[in-house]
Chain A
Amino acid sequence: MYMYIMKRLGFMILAIFVVSAMAFFLMNMVPGSTPVMILKYTVLGLENSATPNQIAQISSRYNLNDPLYVQYITWLKNALLHGNIGTSYIYNEPVSYLIALRLPATILLAVTSMSIAILIGIPLGIYAALKENRISDTILRFVTLFGVSMPSFWVALILLLIFAVDLKLVPVVGYGQVDNIILPSITLAIPYMAIIIRVTRTSMLETLGNEYIRFSIAKGLSKYRIIFVHALKNAMLPIITVLGFQTGNLLGGAMIVETIFDWPGIGNLLVNSIDSHDIPVVQGCILVIAIMFLTVNFIVDILYTYIDPRIRYGG
């Protein structure tokens, strides 16, 4: 077990390096575009062209004329030895500072969405399992099908139209109050809610069909105790697995939702910095996202292998 964990950790570190290097070289694909973009997004304005002098000034300020591998190795050295992952070209602030500012917003959004998805999804899934093949079950199955199939940006726009513009129930802009998080988190939660409902339903159905359940009924345990204590516990495993493996999609989906609602999170920061070629920020964001993603997967994998054998024996 210990060896496995060490191997996985080692792999994680390797993956993070490779990913950050890939991000750096990808962003530098088009030679010469970085100084131009920096100028356009700070002092020049998007439509104006940069003069060779201006390009030279910016390039020397940020060492953009060094060969790519030199630039990358400098970044790597700073990151590993001094914990300094660079300074944003556009904001003139340290990348770690910008990320620390934005990360809580994304985590808040992700956690809220997941909570909504779980709190509503699990009970609905149980309900659907109990009412298997009756009308309410069928309706739920259609609704969940819709839920995973709708494009999130479309859902966001429609919710905005209905709740913010027409009904004026929530504000259109802003950050910091409860009102502001409602629409973004609901938008993000919908596909996961749908998945959780389906998975809960399926695994509840499976578990409820198990022999030991019938045995428990025979023993005289109350129906509720059976459902909520025994069956649900066994059904949790696939649910947890799903949650873990969906983290990637959650982060990707958060990116789109953040862009639409102007939510000041990491996803938004990443999209904007890719646009403006703010390469240090891109690298920083990708680093953080990769770490989060790999860590969650890692934890889920460990949990999975750890729990799995127990389930088989009806624990």
Chain B
Amino acid sequence: MQIITKILSILAIVLVVGIVLALSGCVTGSQVAGNTSSNSTVQSNENDTLRVGEMWDITTLDPAAGGGTTIGEKADITETLVGANPDFSLKPELATSWYQVDNLTWVFNLRNDVYFQDGTKMTADDVKWSLDRVISLDPVVTNLVNLDNITVINDTAIMIKTKSENLMLPAVLNYPDTGIIAKSSLDANGNFSKPVGTGAYKFESFGQTTHVLTVVKNDLWWNGTPGLDTLVLTPITDPNTRAMAIESGEIDFTCDVPYNEVPGIAQMPGYTVEKYNKARMYMLVLNLNESSLGDLKVRQAISDAIDRQAIAQNVLYGMGSPAAGPFMSTMAWTNTSLTPYTINLTDANALLDEDGWVNGTDGIREKNGQKLSFTLLTFPNRPGLPPMAEAIAAELKDIGVSVQVQVETSGAISAQVSTGVWDMELTTYATAMVPDPGYILKELYTTNGTYNSGKYSNPQLDALIANASDTKDLNERYQLYEEAQSIVYEQQPIILVDYYGSDIVMKNYVKGFVNDPTSHDYNINPEIYIQN
């Protein structure tokens, strides 16, 4: 009897304690700054704070560990030596000018009026330290730079020597991970503790549990006056939740709400919706070792059967447009004579007939006992991909090609592709991660290109691209790259589907936003302000 009473009382105490804790919310252990967890319907803004719903989880603020895009483009804490114009040509940023001394060496002249957010002046020593660090720690940057060493010439100039000629080096120094940070970003033990940069906003706090990043106006900024007092980035990884959050007024600005919701939100009073094409493409990557896909006619037939316009309209809800070559028409080096692919079922069927693929009894074409039947891999993190894959599969069925869609995690797909046993993959690629045409053309289409998982090999194209990357004159270089674009447009080792579009949704009182097509997802330009 007494045991039971004891147990009951313990239970009761646990319950009461639990409820009290729940109500007081004090077992959270998180630091929450800004207005992010405030109660639902805050319709206006005190204190010029912009609350942004960010699409990716913020796992690190260290640019050398993958936090470069977050602290560079979205939170404006850091800046790079080299900037980019909307047409992807390069412009000065922290560096004023740059030139090649010899094949392996570049000199970069730096601004002398830049201060870090900790008050110290940015010198060439600091820049060398920051670049050395990121080049050694960040495997992507290591690859892109191929560094020999960096020397300080004087307080405002550095010399970068690479192991092999790297004409893309200035473009590489636009890559967000190379954002310049101060030594005070590390703690006494040499571990990264907080980002101290040169940008318009400086680090204030980061919630360890909530991953909410708060930055405040940097009065020491060299390039003008930032428009906001506070900027808060809240990771909301689910696109639907982002839409709900901006509809309920919990955030003021976000990117990539589900495409189908965009028309609805655009009609709601108080919201601004803008659509932009990004330097990213939806691509159908093909395994050219798979015999039928190695056949040009088959590839062209597949491409002809895809209704890119309908997909852009009804699967992407207008967030995207049919692809021409690998580059958007607005980029400085695009071969604008290439026109967007259009659907042509007659041609498609004709090509397959010509090639000897006969319609089988099950509606699938076959030749010499082999069927035109493929598996299509894709992953769910980009909302447009799974429905697009399903749409493509259905469209190909119309010409007698059978496609089975498999949605798997990106890791599983990598693993499968590396075994060589795969047919097709639907994915997206950033075409200007480094704003230079050579980068993506080399990685996607040359025989040893890193992203050339289909193993396309065209020695003529290899030579063309190698030649182009060694050509110092910019115009000549762009000419050669345009030739390369024509080749891949016609050969279609990778079937380009649509350009990637994305939506920016803001409350009406957010003004001054300027879209940066070179950004990874979106760029919070420092001129943004809140209109009260």
- Is B one of A's binding partners? yes
Interfacial residues, chain A to chain B (CB-CB below 8 A): 30, 32-33, 36-37, 39-51, 53-54, 57-58, 90-92, 100-102, 104-105, 107-108, 111-112, 114-115, 118-119, 160, 164-165, 168-181, 185, 233, 236, 240, 262, 264, 272, 275-277, 303, 306-307, 310, 315
Known contacts A45-B430, A164-B244, A174-B250, then 11 further A-B pairs from the complex at CB < 8 Å, ordered by chain A residue = A33-B411, A43-B138, A48-B450, A48-B451, A108-B22, A173-B236, A176-B25, A177-B39, A240-B11, A264-B209, A264-B211
CA distance A47 to B430 in the complex (A): 9
Q: In the complex, are the beta carbons of B248 and A49 less than 8 A apart?
A: no
Task: Kindly state the separation between the CA atoms of A272 and B57 in the bound complex, as whole angstroms.
Answer: 10
CB of B497, distance to nearest CB on chain A (Å) = 14
Bound CA–CA A315/B1 (angstroms): 5
Please tell me if the beta carbons of B40 and A115 are within 8 angstroms of each other in the complex.
Answer: no
Could you say which of A112, A174, A310 contacts B19, with CB atoms under 8 Å apart? Answer: A112
Q: Which one, B11, B30, B53, B428, contacts A176 given CB within 8 A?
A: B30
Contact with A along B81-119 (1 / 0, CB 8 A): 000000000000000000000000000000000000000
**A54-B139, A119-B15, A172-B250 known; A46 and B40 CB under 8 Å?**
no
Asked if A178 and B25 make an inter-chain contact with CB atoms under 8 angstroms apart, the answer reads: yes
Q: Does B296 contact A (CB under 8 A)?
A: no
- Asked if A175 meets B28 with Cβ closer than 8 Å, knowing A49-B414, A236-B4, the reply is yes
Which of B58-66, B369-377, B394-402, B467-475 lies at the interface with chain A? B58-66
Residues of B close to A175: CB separation below 8 A:
28, 30, 32, 37, 209-210
B429 neighbours in A (Cβ, 8 Å): 47-48
**Known contacts A53-B143, A177-B37; is-contact A102 B209 (Cβ 8 Å):** yes
B241 touches A233 (CB 8 A): no
A121 to B138 alpha-carbon distance, docked (Å): 54
One digit per residue, 1 when the CB lies within 8 angstroms of any chain A CB and 0 when it does not, for chain B 14-50 equals 1100110111010111101000111111000000000
Among A30, A102, A108, the residue within 8 A (CB) of B415 is: A30
B410 on the A face (CB < 8 A) = yes
Q: How far is the CB of B350 from chain A (nearest CB, A)?
A: 34
The listed residue (B248, B409, B415) touching A172 by CB distance below 8 A is B248
Instruction: Tell me if B66 and A42 are in contact (CB < 8 A).
Output: yes
Q: Report the minimum CB–CB distance from B322 to chain A (whole Å).
A: 20
Taking the closest CB of chain A, its distance from the CB of B383, in whole angstroms, is 13
Contacts of B140 in A (CB 8 A): 39, 43-44, 54
Query: Which A-chain residue is minimally distant from B24 (CB atoms)?
Result: A178
Q: What CA separation (Å) do A119 and B410 show in the bound complex?
A: 44
Interface residue B482 (Cβ < 8 Å from any Cβ of A): no
Contact flag A118-B142 (CB < 8 Å), given A36-B414, A37-B411: no
Chain A-chain B contacts (Cβ-Cβ < 8 Å), number: 193
A40 contacts across to B, CB distance below 8 A: 410-411, 414
Cross-chain contact A173 with B22 (CB below 8 angstroms): no
Nearest residue (CB) in A for B31 is: A176
Partner of B247, one of A39, A50, A165: A165
What distance in Å separates the Cβ of A111 from its nearest Cβ neighbour in chain B?
A: 4
Known: A92-B60, A168-B40, A175-B210. A46 touches B410 (CB 8 A): yes
Known A-B contacts A47-B430, A171-B40; A275 and B409 likewise in contact (beta carbons under 8 Å)? yes
What separation, in Å, do the CA atoms of A168 and B211 have in the docked complex?
Answer: 24
A313's nearest neighbour on chain B, judged by CB, is: B1
Which residues of chain A are within 8 angstroms of B15 by Cβ–Cβ distance?
Answer: 115, 118-119
* Cβ contacts B447-458/A at 8 Å (1 or 0 each): 000110100000
B window 427-482: CB within 8 A of A: 427-430, 433, 450-451, 453
Chain A's closest residue to B15 (CB) is A115
Q: Which of A43, A180, A264, A310 has most chain B Cβ within 10 Å?
A: A43
Asked if A115 contacts B18 (CB within 8 A), the reply is yes
Report A-chain residues with C-beta under 8 Å of the C-beta of B433.
Answer: 48
B244: chain A residues at CB < 8 Å are 160, 164-165, 172
Complex contact A173–B245 (CB within 8 A): yes
Q: How far apart sit A164 and B379, CA to CA, in the bound complex (Å)?
A: 29
Decide if B192 is an interface residue (CB 8 Å cutoff): yes
Return the 8 tightest CB-CB contacts between A and B, nearest first: A42-B66, A111-B18, A54-B139, A174-B37, A172-B244, A43-B66, A112-B22, A171-B40
User: From B14, which residue of chain A is reached at the shortest CB distance?
Assistant: A111
A262 contacts B18, C-beta separation under 8 Å: no
Q: Specify the chain B residue showing the minimal Cβ separation from A264.
A: B209
Distance A57 CA – B23 CA, assembled complex (angstroms): 48
| Residues of A with C-beta under 8 A to B409 | 275
Does B65 lie within 8 Å of A92, measured CB to CB?
yes
B381 within 8 A of A: yes
Shortest beta-carbon distance from B14 to chain A in Å: 8
A36 to B409, CA, bound (A): 13
Once the chains bind, are B139 and A176 in contact (CB under 8 Å)? no
Known contacts A39-B139, A47-B429: does B248 contact A168 (CB below 8 Å)? yes
Residues from chain A with a CB closer than 8 A to the CB of B151 are none
Nearest opposing residue in chain A for B247, CB measure: A165
Residues of A within 8 Å of B39, CB to CB, are 171, 177, 179
Chain B: minimal CB distance from A243 (Å): 9
Q: Which residue of A lies closest to B69 (CB)?
A: A45
A179 touches B40 (CB 8 A): yes
A173 and B40 in contact, given A101-B209, A104-B27, A275-B409 (Cβ under 8 angstroms)? no
* Chain B contacts for A48, CB-based, 8 A: 429-430, 433, 450-451
User: Which residue of chain B has the shortest Cβ distance to A277 in the bound complex?
Assistant: B411
Task: Please indicate the chain B residues that have their CB under 8 angstroms from the CB of A111 in the complex.
Answer: 14, 18, 21-22
Q: With A40-B414, A118-B15, A160-B244 as given contacts, are A92 and B62 in contact (CB-CB < 8 Å)?
A: yes
The yes or no answer to B7 lying at the interface (CB within 8 A) is yes
Nearest-Cβ distance from residue B49 to partner chain A, whole angstroms: 15
Across-interface contacts of A165 in B (CB, < 8 A):
244, 247-248
Closest-by-CB residue of A relative to B17 is: A111
**CB contact under 8 A between A91 and B37, given known A172-B248, A175-B210:** no
CB distance from B486 to the nearest CB of A (A): 25
A42 touches B65 (CB 8 A): yes
Distance of A167 from chain B, by nearest CB (Å): 10
Rounded to whole angstroms, the CA-CA distance of A173 and B52 in the bound complex is 12
Query: Are B66 and A176 in contact, CB atoms less than 8 angstroms apart?
Result: no
The residue that A264 contacts in the complex, of B38, B60, B210, with Cβ under 8 A, is B210
CB <8 Å contact, B37 and A108? no
CB atoms of B250 and A173 under 8 A apart? yes
A169 vs chain B, min Cβ distance (A) = 8
Q: How far is the CB of A107 from chain B (nearest CB, A)?
A: 7
Partner of A101, one of B19, B208, B245: B208
Considering the complex, give the chain B residue whose CB is closest to the CB of A39.
B139
Q: Does B368 contact A (CB under 8 A)?
A: no
A105 interface neighbour in B8, B14, B28, B139, Cβ under 8 Å = B28
Kindly list chain A residues whose C-beta atoms are within 8 Å of the C-beta of B379: 46
In the complex, whether B3 has a CB less than 8 A from a CB of chain A is yes
Question: Chain A residues near B11 (CB, 8 Å)?
Answer: 240
Name the contact of B248 in the complex, choosing from A30, A32, A164, A315 (C-beta under 8 A): A164
Whether B241 and A172, one on each chain, are in contact in the complex, defined by CB atoms closer than 8 angstroms, is yes
